[in-house]
A and B are shown apart, each in its own frame.
Chain A
């Protein structure tokens, strides 16, 4: 596994998170007090932040972190949700999505993102000052806590239950360095202590600068971690500062400020040092954020620089010692489970083995000799007696350091008493495991893997088709009848398997249309707000499935149709009221399956299309002659909207894009073998009906030959194949036509359409081979040289530079390895 794989995984998960976050944000707007929803949303943002942190994408982390802090307050009930907050969060998520894209492209974030990141984070944090929701969200302390609540909620739930007081931390000694007048003047302030590590200057840090820049700094006291050595011996580049300060800013801001050196800083909210007033709902005050100096590191309390060699061993020792003491402290807690004792013994063993010196080996023997059921107290005593001796200068300082740095040991009786009695968890766990019925295993697979499978199966399908031909050759050419029979038999087996595989992979590729529909919510919300319209979006049939390619190609046309609806369709509220309609308009998007097609309908109850206006515009733009326009019925006139270059908007609104008309939508839909129809009632509304193939995977084509080359033509476009005698072809100026079953059919030579240097061949009887294809309501006959058989192929759309060749629907790989160009006759003509 390498860094790229990890990054790919990050991108995958980040996108997944963002998608779900987007959905939740919309849902939350509708029900801002839904606790489960809020917790879910928080957890998603939290995960996202965590992942960003692994890669040190700072601009990204900053923004997501701000969002997380905001959501934490909201879900705790101390901050009310608002539309503006929603906007800020949505903006932030958009930015995040962009950054993810950038990371995917270049592997990093450009420095240009810095500014925007700061702006977005600031905008988000501004909301932190907002009001709490008017109704205090009753913190239902859920007993089945593990489901979505975080540990903090669990602690709050259990510790603030009956008589117990919330987790109150005693005021640390260093607070003496802050004048009491300030503590009184700013009761909701935050106090902090920053003890930079001695080597920090070499990392380019400036703790003095960092301290001075703490937001809303009211007091800053400079002390030292150890006594100053005599001036002659002192090294000014070993940091010995011990900074204490008071800031009248939310604790989140201050913590965020010190986020690069969290293990060197303690941040405490003054409010957490006071017992909480008796309140119905346990007020989830930000409990003292004692930094996790616990195990990760401790600040070196002495100034003396450790000797050069053996630094690693010294670090190791020091760390081992800290952990040793942690284990001792663990053993002295009340209500310790026997399992914990066992684990502590194992940890102690590990520590001894890891430090690997002579005394350690001795200690190990005695540890292992302790009786299996030794009590916690007994083990604790042993551990205290056999504490590994560290380096001389390290030891003494460790003993004194702990009370501050490791909150774990200090003053435990109080919090232990309110700790969770061992009895509580089982119920919670059992309940949650009861809820979880069918433990469904879901795999997340990247799309490229599916595509690869598709390709392989496609090749397999084609390759197997060579077998019958081989069997034939075996019999006729090589006179091997037995062999031929066996080949055919085996072919039948392979054929069945291949078809099953094809079905199976097509099932995997089927996606619910909901994946496209889900972004409409946001679209409708944003645009309707911008335009000052009230629009409700109704979505039906999101579970209807279609092939991945179809789904993906649908996105743009659908979005455009909806934008049109929002922009031109739905009227402003007053206009609607005047027309006797409800003030809010409705856009309905519905999907369903009809035999082998997927039908998607989008209708609105807006202004509809004005046939006369369309007629006028069409004439103005010279799209149809005036007399023709007059003969069109209203229904037909409305269809003119599909003509290229048609846009009735007098001002091209930037929302719908410049000059992108319905013709583009139609082309896009037809490119995936779909149809689109529009019907409208002026004043009442408009409906668009899209019909799409269920699957694009397998296409049946007829192979024809022209100019010595072979091409494929999709079977569902072919009306018939017919031979027409040269004499039956009427020439009129440049055009050629013939009569087939009483109807005039225009003829075009494929050679000309494809610019092949050849003219259509005639067979021995002087006949042309004509392939009659359907264009909408008309038929056109294509003159070709030869018909060959029909076959199933996997149509691959053209990619890259070739994608612009609209005359070709795509390519297909043939059994003999050759590539067949599949035509899109409509575009050729």
Chain B
């Protein structure tokens, strides 16, 4: 549940709530190559979505939530950024 901060990426899992947005934002800003893994992510709060839209990290793995994938432009069939 929430975010696991690994060496190369942040794994967003299950449900990521509004409180996590700030931390994630801070963490991503510090990365040279910001990246997230959304394969186990069921839902993110809108603030978290904003963070992802702002930073535009690389997305590892298949985003589990199709709407999120589409919003981030990494759904299958979408032109990647």
37-51 of chain B: CB within 8 A of chain A: 43-51
Bound complex: CA of A234 vs CA of B53, how far in Å?
11
Q: Give the contact-size bracket for chain A.
A: 20 to 34
Query: A-facing mask of B59-71, CB < 8 A → 1, else 0?
Result: 0000000010011
Chain B CB within 8 A of A445 CB? no
Q: How far is the CA of A201 from the CA of B54 in the complex (A)?
A: 17
With both beta carbons as reference points, the residue of chain A lying nearest to B46 in the complex is identified as A208
B: contact size bracket: 20 to 34
Complex Cα distance, B46 from A205, in Å, reads 9
Contact yes or no, B50 A236, CB < 8 A: yes
Q: Which of A207, A220, A236, A241 has the most CB of B within 10 A?
A: A236
**How many Å from the CB of B56 to the closest CB on chain A?**
9
Contact call B49/A208, Cβ cutoff below 8 A: yes
A206 at the interface (CB under 8 A from B): yes
Q: Is the CB of A241 within 8 A of B49?
A: yes
Give B75 Cβ to nearest chain A Cβ, in Å. Answer: 11
Find out whether the CB atom of B18 lies under 8 angstroms from the CB atom of A206.
Answer: yes
Is B47 a contact partner of A222 (Cβ separation < 8 A)? no
The residue that B54 contacts in the complex, of A196, A206, A209, A231, with Cβ under 8 A, is A231
Q: Evaluate contact between A228 and B54: CB separation under 8 angstroms.
A: yes
A212 contacts partner chain B, Cβ-Cβ < 8 Å: yes
Q: Point out the residues of chain A lying under 8 angstroms from B48, CB to CB.
A: 236
Q: Flag whether B21 is at the interface (Cβ < 8 A).
A: yes
Q: Chain A residues near B18 (CB, 8 Å)?
A: 201, 206, 237
Given contacts A220-B67, A220-B71, A239-B50, contact A231 B21 (CB under 8 A): no
Known: A196-B46, A209-B46. A220 touches B22 (CB 8 A): no
Report if A656 contacts B (CB, 8 A). no
B55 in the interface, Cβ–Cβ < 8 Å?
Answer: yes
Nearest-Cβ distance from residue B10 to partner chain A, whole angstroms? 14
Name the residue among B25, B29, B46, B47 with the largest chain A CB count within 10 angstroms. Answer: B46
A219-260 residues at the B interface, CB under 8 angstroms: 220, 222, 224, 228, 231-232, 234, 236-237, 239-241
Residue of B nearest to A240 (CB): B50
Distance between Cα atoms of A208 and B53 in the complex (Å): 13
The residue that A209 contacts in the complex, of B29, B45, B70, with Cβ under 8 A, is B45
Is the beta-carbon distance between B67 and A236 smaller than 8 angstroms?
A: no
Interchain nearest-CB distance for B3 vs A (Å): 14
Tell me the chain A residues, 182-227 only, with Cβ under 8 Å from chain B: 196, 201, 205-209, 212, 217, 220, 222, 224
CB-based contact B47/A201 at 8 Å? yes
CB pair B71–A222 under 8 Å, yes or no, is: yes
- A236 cross-chain contacts in B, Cβ below 8 A: 21-22, 25, 47-48, 50-51, 54
Which residues of chain B are near A222, meaning CB under 8 Å?
49, 53, 71
Asked if B70 and A206 make an inter-chain contact with CB atoms under 8 angstroms apart, the answer reads: no
In the complex, are the beta carbons of B54 and A234 less than 8 A apart? yes
Whether B46 lies near A201 (C-beta < 8 A) is yes
CB distance from A735 to the nearest CB of B (A): 84
Residue numbers in B under 8 Å from A241 (CB-CB):
46, 49-50
Q: In the assembly, what is the distance between CA of A224 and CA of B56, in Å?
A: 14
Least CB separation from B51: chain A residue: A236
- Chain A's closest residue to B55 (CB) is A231
Residues of chain A contacted by B51 (CB below 8 angstroms): 236
- Residue pair A212, B54 in contact (C-beta under 8 Å): no
* Among A196, A208, A228, A231, contact of B44 (Cβ-Cβ < 8 Å): A208
A232 to chain B, nearest CB (A): 7
Q: Which residues of B contact A237 (CB under 8 A)?
A: 18, 21-22, 47
**Closest residue of A by beta carbon distance from B34:** A231
Closest chain A residue to B15, Cβ basis? A209
In angstroms, Cα B46 to Cα A237, docked, is: 9
Closest-by-CB residue of A relative to B70 is A220
Interface residues of B in 13-41 (CB under 8 A from A): 18, 21-22, 25, 29
B residues less than 8 Å from A224 (CB atoms): 53
Does the CB pair A212–B67 fall under 8 Å? yes
- Within 110-134 of A, Cβ neighbours of B (below 8 Å) are at none
Closest to A210 in B: B46
**A217 to B66 CA separation, bound complex (whole angstroms):** 12
| Interface core residue of A208, A228, A234 (most chain B CB under 10 Å) | A208
CA distance A581 to B46 in the complex (A): 70
- Nearest first, the 9 closest Cβ-Cβ pairs linking A and B are A208-B46, A222-B71, A207-B46, A236-B25, A236-B51, A236-B21, A208-B49, A206-B46, A236-B50
For this complex, 27 residue pairs linking A to B, each with C-beta atoms less than 8 Å apart, are: A196-B46, A201-B18, A205-B46, A206-B45, A206-B46, A207-B46, A208-B44, A208-B46, A209-B43, A209-B46, A217-B67, A220-B70, A220-B71, A222-B71, A231-B29, A231-B54, A231-B55, A232-B29, A234-B54, A236-B48, A236-B50, A236-B51, A236-B54, A237-B22, A239-B46, A239-B47, A239-B50
With A196-B46, A228-B53, A241-B46 given, name 5 new contacts (CB 8 A): A206-B45, A222-B71, A224-B53, A231-B54, A236-B21
